[in-house]
Structure 1
Amino acid sequence: MMSHKPQTKTPNAIDVHVGSRIRLQRTLKGMSQTTLAEGLGVTFQQVQKYEKGTNRVGSSRLQAIASILGVPVAWFFEEGPVSSSTSQGSEAGAGREITQFLNSVEGLSLNRAFVKIQDDKIRRKIVDVVKALAREPSE
């Protein structure tokens, strides 16, 4: 007799990546999960599952998400997991850093404020200050 253990399925790495990109673009637009869900005709819980990668997004649904969020479908796959034959090396690592930064509350807040600064000289000075702070040992 077979034992019937509940199987916990791990989400596919690509599904997780696409979900994180959906969340990133949604938050960059300042859109709630509920608003996106209403546009798709699903519950906000379904959007949560898409964003975590626990539910796979079908192609027609991904097209609808892309349309609502104003990005091409291919955007959701950028900087994602790649096979060794198409590895992009350090470029993919940099992309992940950017995604992690923009997925953090501080990163998103800093990005929103930074892009509102019109003066290029001030923007460069802010970058210099952040670089200097990053070199200092924390106390």
Structure 2
Amino acid sequence: MPSKKSPNPIDIHVGSRVRLRRMMLGMSQEKLGEHLGITFQQIQKYEKGTNRIGASRLQHIATVLKVPVAFFFEDAPGTPEEAAKGFEEGKPATYVVDFLSSSEGLALNKAFVQIKDAKVRKRIVDLVKSLADDEPVS
């Protein structure tokens, strides 16, 4: 019996962007599923990239999440934008998506963007950097 094929990197990326946007809106997998007429388990599979999202379904997801379809492909592996980066250091989009996909990252981001004073925001960034420097390396 052949082994199950691993998910395509584009499907994983698109799924992670669906999850990111859903979490930014504070929407549950169940609620997104209700809007689309599918189960939250199907949403989980889409977000992990284990199930590919068809074009019409992706358009519907974009409408529900209030973003253009192109949002899901930003910084996707193999795109011309990514190829143009060449040998740049790391992939910043990956850690940003990971950070914003966590409940702590999302909460921190929502609170941070509500701070109007640029000096205060800079001091918070400086504080977080100093705290990160104090962390022992495991």
**Matching residue of 1:88:** 85
SS at match of 2:97: helix
**Matching residue of 1:44:** 40
Distance 2:8 2:36 in 1: 23
Structure 2 residue runs without a partner (length 5+): none
| Matched residue type, 1:129 | L
Q: What is the RMSD computed on CA atoms of the aligned residues?
A: 2.1
Worse-matched range after superposition: 82-91 or 92-101 = 82-91
**Matching residue of 1:109:** 107
How far has the Cα of 1:92 moved from its partner?
Answer: 7.3
SS at match of 1:79: coil
SS at match of 1:30: coil
**Matching residue of 1:23:** 19
Cα deviation 1:73-132 (Å, max 9, x = unaligned): 011011111269934243871111211111122211211111122222211110111122
| Matched residue type, 1:125 | R
| Matched residue type, 1:19 | G
Matched residues, number: 135
- Contact in 2 for aligned 1:66/1:73 (Cα 8 Å): yes
TM-score by length of 1: 0.87
Structure 1 position 10 matched with structure 2 position 32? no
Q: Which of the numbers 60, 64, 82 marks the counterpart of 2:60? A: 64
Larger Rg: 1
SS at match of 2:61: helix
Cα deviation 1:32-78 (Å, max 9, x = unaligned): 11111111111111111100111100001000100110111011011
Distance 1:44 1:106 in 2: 22
| Matched residue type, 1:127 | V
Percent identity for Structure 1 against Structure 2: 56
How far has the Cα of 1:24 moved from its partner?
Answer: 0.5
SS at match of 1:42: coil
| Matched residue type, 2:101 | N
How far has the Cα of 1:7 moved from its partner?
Answer: 2.6
- Contact in 2 for aligned 1:79/1:92 (Cα 8 Å): no
